[in-house]
Chain A
Amino acid sequence: ELKVEQNPLFLSMQEGKNYTIYCNYSTTSDRLYWYRQDPGKSLESLFVLLSNGAVKQEGRLMASLDTKARLSTLHITAAVHDLSATYFCAVDKNYGGSQGNLIFGKGTKLSVKP
């Protein structure tokens, strides 16, 4: 059974600091996704990671994937208040399939303070 673990679950950061969120998963998968969710809102796609060593960056966020270690990281550089949200990683357990069957981590609630 595929399990997806994120840590930390809560993260309080100061503006301008760097930090990393970790996402471990238990079985082989060929797709990993990062989503952002603001309170009371829907999920916004951030990154899609498909291959070992994949690295993607958007603004102050950078995501990477190590399929051998079954680990993805979301690195935050010089945090700003607007990044405060809950971040989910999700792994597709439909390995090799054509449509998704996502298992989400519990989420990391990020709070960036001045």
Chain B
Amino acid sequence: DTEVTQTPKHLVMGMTNKKSLKCEQHMGHRAMYWYKQKAKKPPELMFVYSYEKLSINESVPSRFSPECPNSSLLNLHLHALQPEDSALYLCASSQNGQLNQPQHFGDGTRLSIL
């Protein structure tokens, strides 16, 4: 079990659906991240939130919309996704400003777009 909790674990959706991925951590971390990982590939950074503000958007299409309602929660809203968006979506958190601390990853949401 990890200290970063992601729900749901699996999600199947059509291209016209709207859904959300959720991530929660209670370690007091003030930096939170969304990554996308395709099969047999490394994780790729999508978004970074620092102190609940979006600080990095790695040119992610607008059909992915992140939200950080408070310091413990991170959401990823999905709308009009494409089949190539099928992947494992990983959330991570870290202690902002603590360079000697790694990012802690959740177990991920495995997303399939029909």
Task: With A99-B31, A100-B31 as known contacts, state yes or no: A106 contacts B42, CB within 8 Å.
Answer: yes
- B residues near A (Cβ < 8 Å) are 2, 31, 33, 41-45, 48, 50, 55-56, 90, 92, 94, 96-97, 99-108
A30 within 8 Å of B by Cβ? yes
Q: Which of A31, A42, A107 contacts B105 (CB 8 A)?
A: A42
Contact-residue size bin, chain A (C-beta under 8 Å from the other chain)? 20 to 34
Q: Which of A44, A88, A98 contacts B42 (CB 8 A)?
A: A88
Question: Using Cβ atoms and an 8 Å threshold, which residues of chain B touch A48?
Answer: 100-102
A104 within 8 Å of B by Cβ? yes
Q: Does A42 lie within 8 Å of B107, measured CB to CB?
A: yes
A57 within 8 Å of B by Cβ? no
Q: How far is the CA of A86 from the CA of B42 in the complex (A)?
A: 10
Q: How far is the CA of A101 from the CA of B34 in the complex (A)?
A: 11
- Distance to closest chain A CB from B36 (angstroms): 12
Q: Does B105 lie within 8 Å of A100, measured CB to CB?
A: no
Q: Which residues of A in the span 61-114 have a Cβ within 8 Å of any Cβ on B?
A: 88, 90, 98-107
Question: Using Cβ atoms and an 8 Å threshold, which residues of chain B touch A31?
Answer: 99
A25 within 8 Å of B by Cβ? no
Known: A33-B102, A42-B108, A107-B42. 6 other contacts (CB 8 A): A33-B103, A43-B105, A50-B99, A90-B42, A99-B97, A100-B33
Q: How far is the CA of A33 from the CA of B103 in the complex (A)?
A: 9
A45 within 8 Å of B by Cβ? yes
Question: A10-22 toward B: CB 8 Å interface, digit per residue (1/0)?
Answer: 0000000000000
Question: Using Cβ atoms and an 8 Å threshold, which residues of chain A touch B55?
Answer: 99
Q: Does A45 lie within 8 Å of B104, measured CB to CB?
A: yes
- Distance to closest chain A CB from B96 (angstroms): 5
- Distance to closest chain B CB from A88 (angstroms): 6
Residue of A nearest to B94 (CB): A100
